[in-house]
Amino acid sequence: MEMLEFLESDKEQVMNGLVKAGEPEPAQAVLEKELDRLLLKYNEECAEERLREAARHMLQTGKMMIPLISAAGETRIWSKNSSAGGSQGVKLSKTAIACIAGGILFLVGALAGLALSAGKEVSVSAIFASIPAAILGGGLLFWGGRLSLVRSGIPSGRDDGSQQVEIRVNPDRVWACLRALVLSVDKSLQEVREAVNYEKSQLSASYGNGISPEEAELFSSLLESAYTQMQEYPDDASVQEMISHLRYYLHRKQVETVDYGGGKREWYELLPGMQEMTIRPALVKDGVLVKKGLAVARQ
């Protein structure tokens, strides 16, 4: 499940929180809480440690951008004017909005750069690669705020010097920015997921846990030979030692050797005989048959 799906399921709760907050500081707390909740939900669904670690680093970077929320709102300057006899509000100019939008895009691009670490501990090179985009994005956001004040204009007339700056959060605009951020995180996590899957596909079946089909065939033959010798020479300590070594090696691969009578009947190829006897043990991993055994069973 992608993180964007978790976010969409929380939309009503987040929007209500932003509307209630109104101003940047309480709205920042709403977004920080939501990013923490997204990481918690993602970790509950994701079993791959590298993806969980990558998600943690990306959302931490996302939380560093949250203080810029004031740029995604509406700025008003209230100035007491003797000729107008009242106050007047000013909204963001189109140029300022363009700067703010560009700044957000560059910051999101900086976040995506963290995926270069492929989910491992974020490398120094990945961090430095993201710094220029983050600086440019922050600069655009800053100048967007400046332009909104300079080009909007302040009411003409005599001014008694008393001014009040008010920033109101625009919930719809903030939600759009948050959604873009999480969408970028999902895209970066998909790149990490593909890298992890590719690395796993390059590993042989015997890497870590389990054995390859070729190894299963080889060890079955070795065990069959050892069991035959054990039947012929029951007092030969070297045969017992060889069987013990083979069992231990397979056990380290999380593959167990199961003699006839100790497992399921369908795990063995059966030969008719007067008494039950294991000729070749079955190879089993996590309760799943890897290689059939061979045994003599009473008919």
Residue 258 pLDDT grade (very low, low, confident, very high; cuts 50, 70, 90):
very high
Is residue 209 scored above 60 in pLDDT? no
Residue 293 pLDDT grade (very low, low, confident, very high; cuts 50, 70, 90):
very high
Is 73 inside any structural domain?
yes
Q: Are residues 25 and 58 in the same domain?
A: yes
Residue 24 pLDDT grade (very low, low, confident, very high; cuts 50, 70, 90):
confident
Give the start-end residues of each E strand in the chain: 73-81, 159-169, 256-258, 268-273, 277-280, 282-285, 288-291, 293-298
Is 208 inside any structural domain?
no
The pTM (predicted TM-score) of the whole model is 0.45
Q: Are residues 156 and 41 in the same domain?
A: yes
Q: Are residues 88 and 156 in the same domain?
A: yes
In a 13 Å sphere around the CA of 149, the CA atoms on its Cβ side amount to 14
Domain limit, last residue, from 155, 172, 202:
202
Q: Are residues 46 and 191 in the same domain?
A: yes
SS3 assignment, position 107: helix
Q: Are residues 194 and 267 in the same domain?
A: no
Residue 224 pLDDT grade (very low, low, confident, very high; cuts 50, 70, 90):
very high
Domain limit, last residue, from 180, 202, 224:
202
Contact 123, 117 (CB under 8 A): yes
Q: Are residues 192 and 91 in the same domain?
A: yes
Contact 58, 39 (CB under 8 A): no
Is residue 177 scored above 60 in pLDDT? yes
Is residue 275 scored above 70 in pLDDT? yes
Number of domains observed in the structure of the chain: 2
**Residue 142 main-chain phi, psi, to 5 deg:** -65, -50
Interval 282-296 mean pLDDT: 89
